[in-house]
């Protein structure tokens, strides 16, 4: 990994930090590729049961795509911005959505544009109380391809259209009100609150977490009777962890998960 992306693997959790505070943690093309590769790698790592992503400092979780880089490419190379869902690289937000393990965005500051989309691609969001969120692409003549599809599925349509049409941010408290954030705390409490949330997740059977992720993601907008017949993710019913979980409950002890 480059200096723009910090990675810590501890207690079955991969903790990622976008480390570009001088650019408000904006996503460069190279960093986007790194994140794509890393999420794919972590998805295949059996020792990783959950993934978090945050930004360095407290000024921004991620300010979006690095527009200075795009402008420089346009001026010097005559290249336009990458088109979503086209080209040799997969779309980062699609990769995050399809990662088969719990993903949590820890919003240490505002999440704008592609930063908002990155946060929405994660399963859960915990935020500092100054961490507003916005899709200001209409103010820049851009499209928010992922956000324009996903946001109306996450909040009431009128709220989604207000955010898309105006490009204006909503506060952390309003995001919490509409269910876009799971929890809002002070900046001083953010790290501890995130660790408590993580601990409550990774204490559980990793194969169950992975099956929940696959079933919930792949059944989204699927008719009920079709969704009930999905069988995706690990087969927890035939796993050794299922046997261990039942035995631990009967013996009144903490289970020892193997991920098998």
Q: Tell me the catalytic residues.
A: 117, 137
CA distance 80 to 68: 12
Q: Is 64 left (phi over 0), alpha (psi -120 to 50) or beta?
A: left
Q: What are phi and psi of 127, to 5 degrees?
A: -135, 150
Q: In the chain, how many H helices and how many E strands? A: 11, 8
Residues linked to residue 111 through DSSP beta bridges, in sequence order? 62, 133
CA distances from 201 to 40, 78, 148, 244 (A): 21, 47, 29, 18
How many C-beta atoms surround the C-beta of residue 40 within 10 A? 13
The answer to whether residues 147 and 121 touch, using CB atoms and an 8 Å cutoff, is no
Please state, in angstroms and rounded to a whole number, the distance separating the CA atoms of residues 186 and 130: 8
Assigned token pair, 106: 């820890």
Would you report the helix, strand and coil content of the chain in percent, each value rounded to 5? Answer: 45, 15, 40
């Amino acid at each position: 990994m480059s200096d723009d992306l910090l990675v810590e693997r501890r207690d079955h959790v991969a903790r990622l930090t976008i480390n570009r505070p001088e650019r408000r943690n904006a996503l460069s093309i190279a960093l986007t590729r790194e994140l794509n590769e890393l999420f794919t790698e972590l998805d295949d790592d059996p020792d990783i049961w959950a993934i978090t992503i945050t930004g360095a400092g407290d000024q921004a979780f991620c300010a979006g795509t690095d527009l200075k880089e795009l402008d420089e490419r346009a001026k010097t190379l005559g290249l336009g911005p990458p088109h979503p869902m086209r080209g040799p690289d997969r779309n980062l937000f699609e990769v995050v959505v399809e990662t088969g393990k719990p993903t949590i965005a820890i919003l240490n500051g505002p999440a704008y544009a592609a930063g908002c989309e990155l946060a929405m691609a994660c399963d859960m969001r915990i935020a500092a109380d100054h961490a507003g969120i916005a899709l200001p692409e209409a103010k820049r003549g851009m499209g928010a391809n992922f956000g324009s599809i996903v946001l109306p599925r996450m909040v009431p349509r009128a709220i989604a259209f207000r955010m898309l049409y105006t490009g204006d941010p909503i506060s952390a408290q309003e995001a919490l009100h509409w269910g876009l954030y799971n929890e809002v705390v002070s900046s001083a409490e953010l790290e501890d609150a995130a660790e408590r949330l993580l601990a409550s997740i990774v204490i559980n059977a990793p194969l169950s977490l992975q099956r929940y992720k696959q079933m919930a993601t792949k059944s989204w907008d699927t008719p009920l009777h079709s969704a009930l017949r999905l069988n995706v993710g690990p087969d927890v019913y035939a796993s050794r962890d299922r046997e261990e979980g039942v035995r631990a409950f009967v013996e009144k002890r903490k289970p020892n998960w193997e991920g098998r």
